[in-house]
Amino acid sequence: MRLPPGVSSSDFSAALARLEGAVGKDWVLTSDDDMETYRDSYSPFWHEEEDRIPSAAVAPDSVEQVQAVVRILNERKIPLWTISTGKNLAYGGSSPALSGSVMLDLKRMDKILEVSDKNHYALVEPGVSYFDLYRYIQDNKRKVWIDPPDPGWGSPVGNSLERGGGRTPMGDHFASVCGLEVVLANGEVLRTGMGALPGAKTWQQYKYGFGPYIDGIFSQSNFGVITKMGVWLMPEPEAYREGSVAVPKHDDLIPFVDTLSYLMNSKIVRGTMLLESPVLSYRQSQGGSVLDMPGGPSVQEMERIGAEKNLPYWQMLFHFWGPPKVIDAQWEYTKEKFSAIPGAAFRDGRAYRFPVELKDSDDVQRVYLGIPNLLVFALIAGGQGHMDFSPIIPMTGEAVFEVLQVFGAAYAEMGVPPKNQFFALPWTFFPRSFVLLFGLPVTHNIEQNRENRKVFRRLVGVAAEHGWGEYRTHVAFMDVVSNVYSWNGHALRRLHETIKDAVDPNGILSPGKSGIWPQRMRESRA
C-alpha cells in the first residue's frame, strides 16, 4: 500500500481503522484496483513516477461523517484531497496534486435538499451531478433550468468551486453560488452568508449575509470541505432562438468585439458565445493554423481567399432566451448594432418554444437548452485525452490579434506544429473578458507527454509575459501557474498561505491546490 508522505505505516493503519469506524468498512478503500479509479485518466504523466496516485479513499455519506474523517486525518497530519463527482478531466480528473493523499470522495452525499421555482435556486450536496439535478427538476415538474458544462456527469459543487462555465445566461458558475456549508480542517462546520443566522429564511436568496463575504476563498482553494451549496437557477424560459452574425474583413474584428462587449454588458445578448473564423478554419483544414504563424499567408491573402470562397473572416452565433417578443426584439437590436459594420451578414438559426420534445437526431447543442449530456466526448473521440491551457484575455479585437500573433510566434519558436493541439478562438464564459482554450494532447507515450508538458509551461510563461493568466489549471501545473501570479513579491500567494496556516495549521486539506502549500510542505513547491 502507498503511504501518505511523512506518515508511518503504523500511524496510517491506525487511521484507516478509525476511518472504518467512522464511515463503515465498505467505504474505506485501499486496493490498487480502487486507487486506479482515482487516477487522472487524462494524466500527462502516464508511466512516470510523478503520476499522482492516492494512498486510500474514504467516502462519507453525511456532514457528521465528513467532520469525523477530517478530525481523524487532522490528528495524524494525513493529507486528503476532496472531490465531489471527481470528473475534473483536462484539469486533473479525480487525482490529487500530492501523491499519497487520501481521497475524500463525496459522491455518496447526493441529496438534492431543495429546488425552488419561486426564487429559482437549488440547495445540493456535493455528490449531486448535473444529470441528477436535471432529472429531479423534470420528475418534479419544476419550472427552472440548470446550466450544465459540456460533460453533464460533473457536479454543480465541484464545477462551481473550480469556477467552471456553461452556456446559458447562468454560465459563470461561481457567480451563481449562494450559500455554502463548509467543514474546516479541525472538523468544525460553518455556513456562509445568511446561513450563519440560525433558522435563516434566505440562505439561497441573498449571498452576502453580514460582515466580510468569504465564499470566494473556498473556490479553487484548500481551506475547507464544502458539504452543501446553494446554486441559482434560470427560470424556465418561454422560448429560445439563435442568430449568427458574420463580417467579411480581418479588421472588422475590432468593431465586432466592441459591439459584442456593449451588447453583453447591456445584457441584450447573454450566455456563452464562441468567436469563429471560417476563413482561418479553412486555412487550418489546408494544413495551416488558426494562429498567426510567422511566414504564413498575409491578411490580404486570407481576405482574398475569403472573398473567393465566400467565407467570412469572423462570425458568432448568438443565443436568446426569454419571452418570444423580448428575444425577437433582442435579436433585431443585435442586428441593428452590427449593421454598422459594412458587409455584416445575418442568419436566423434554430428556434424553440418550451416545453419541447427533442429527437436524438436533432442537431442542437443541448447545453444551450440546459440539458446535460456527454456528446462532447463524441466530438473529441480518438485521442487519449487532453489538458486545457485556458488563459483569460481582454475582450477586445486588438487582444485577439495579439494573442494569435504571440502564440503563433511561440509555437514557431518551440518548433511544435500547432495543428495537433486544438486551439479554439475566444469564448465568452465570463463577462468582460475572453477565455481561450488550448487542448494539449495527452498520450501514453512518455516522450510525447514530456514534450507537451514543456509546451504547456512555455505557454503559461508566454501568456504571463503579456499580462494574460489562466482562469484554472491542471493539478500538474498548479505551481507553474501560481508562480506567475507574482505581483508585489507574491503578495496574494502569501496572503493565501497565511489564511491556509490559520485555518488548516496541520496542512491536511488538499495540499498544493492552486499552488497553496501548507507551511510544512512549502519546500515541495515546484
Ligand X SMILES: Cc1cc2nc3c(=O)[nH]c(=O)nc-3n(C[C@H](O)[C@H](O)[C@H](O)COP(=O)(O)OP(=O)(O)OC[C@H]3O[C@@H](n4cnc5c(N)ncnc54)[C@H](O)[C@@H]3O)c2cc1C
Footprint on this chain of ligand X (rule: CB under 6 A): 82-91, 94, 106, 126, 149-151, 154-155, 157-159, 161-162, 164-165, 225-226, 376, 380, 510, 513
Q: Which is nearer to ligand X, 72 or 161 (CB)?
A: 161
| Bridge partners for 470 per DSSP | 391
**C-alpha cell at position 311:** 467565407
Q: Which is nearer to ligand X, 338 or 429 (CB)?
A: 429
Cα–Cα distances in angstroms (integers) from residue 418 to residues 11, 408, 409, in the given order: 49, 8, 11
Distance in angstroms between the alpha carbons of the first and the last residue of the chain: 26
Catalytic residue flag (residue 471): yes
| Shortest Å distance, C-beta 382 to ligand X | 12
| Shortest Å distance, C-beta 513 to ligand X | 5
Q: Is 65 helix (H, G, I), strand (E, B) or coil?
A: helix
d(CA 216, CA 177): 10
Q: Which is nearer to ligand X, 247 or 516 (CB)?
A: 516
| Shortest Å distance, C-beta 434 to ligand X | 15
The one catalytic residue among 91, 352, 368, 411? 91
User: Residue 198, exposed/middle/buried by CB under 10 A (0-12, 13-18, 19+)?
Assistant: exposed
Q: Single out the residue of 494, 435, 492 nearest to residue 469, CA to CA.
A: 435
Q: Which is nearer to ligand X, 335 or 366 (CB)?
A: 366
Q: Which is nearer to ligand X, 229 or 280 (CB)?
A: 229
Q: Which is nearer to ligand X, 190 or 380 (CB)?
A: 380
Q: In sequence order, what are the residues at sequence separation of 6 or more whose Cβ sits closer than 8 angstroms to the Cβ of residue 459?
A: 389, 391, 407, 410, 438
Compute how many other C-beta atoms are within 10 angstroms of the C-beta atom of residue 386: 22
d(CA 74, CA 38): 22
Q: Is 434 helix (H, G, I), strand (E, B) or coil?
A: strand
| Shortest Å distance, C-beta 221 to ligand X | 7
d(CA 196, CA 431): 30
d(CA 119, CA 466): 42
| Shortest Å distance, C-beta 279 to ligand X | 26
Q: Is 163 helix (H, G, I), strand (E, B) or coil?
A: coil
Q: Which is nearer to ligand X, 150 or 303 (CB)?
A: 150
| Shortest Å distance, C-beta 25 to ligand X | 23
| Shortest Å distance, C-beta 375 to ligand X | 10
Q: Which is nearer to ligand X, 343 or 383 (CB)?
A: 383
| Shortest Å distance, C-beta 175 to ligand X | 13
**C-alpha cell at position 486:** 507574482
Q: Which is nearer to ligand X, 223 or 468 (CB)?
A: 223
Centroid of chain to Cα 222: 17
Q: Which is nearer to ligand X, 88 or 449 (CB)?
A: 88
Catalytic residue flag (residue 472): yes
d(CA 181, CA 189): 7
SS (H, E, C) 76-134: CCCCEEEECCCCCCCCCCCCCCCCCCEEEECCCCCCEEEEECCCCEEEECCCCCHHHHH
SS (H, E, C) 244-312: EEEECCHHHHHHHHHHHHHHHHCCCCCCCCEEECHHHHHHHHCCCCCCCCCCCCCHHHHHHHHHHHCCC
Q: Is 330 helix (H, G, I), strand (E, B) or coil?
A: helix
The one catalytic residue among 191, 241, 453, 472? 472
Contact call for residues 425 and 82 (beta carbons, < 8 A) = no
| Shortest Å distance, C-beta 491 to ligand X | 23
Contact call for residues 148 and 367 (beta carbons, < 8 A) = yes
| Shortest Å distance, C-beta 360 to ligand X | 20
Residues with catalytic roles:
91, 471-472
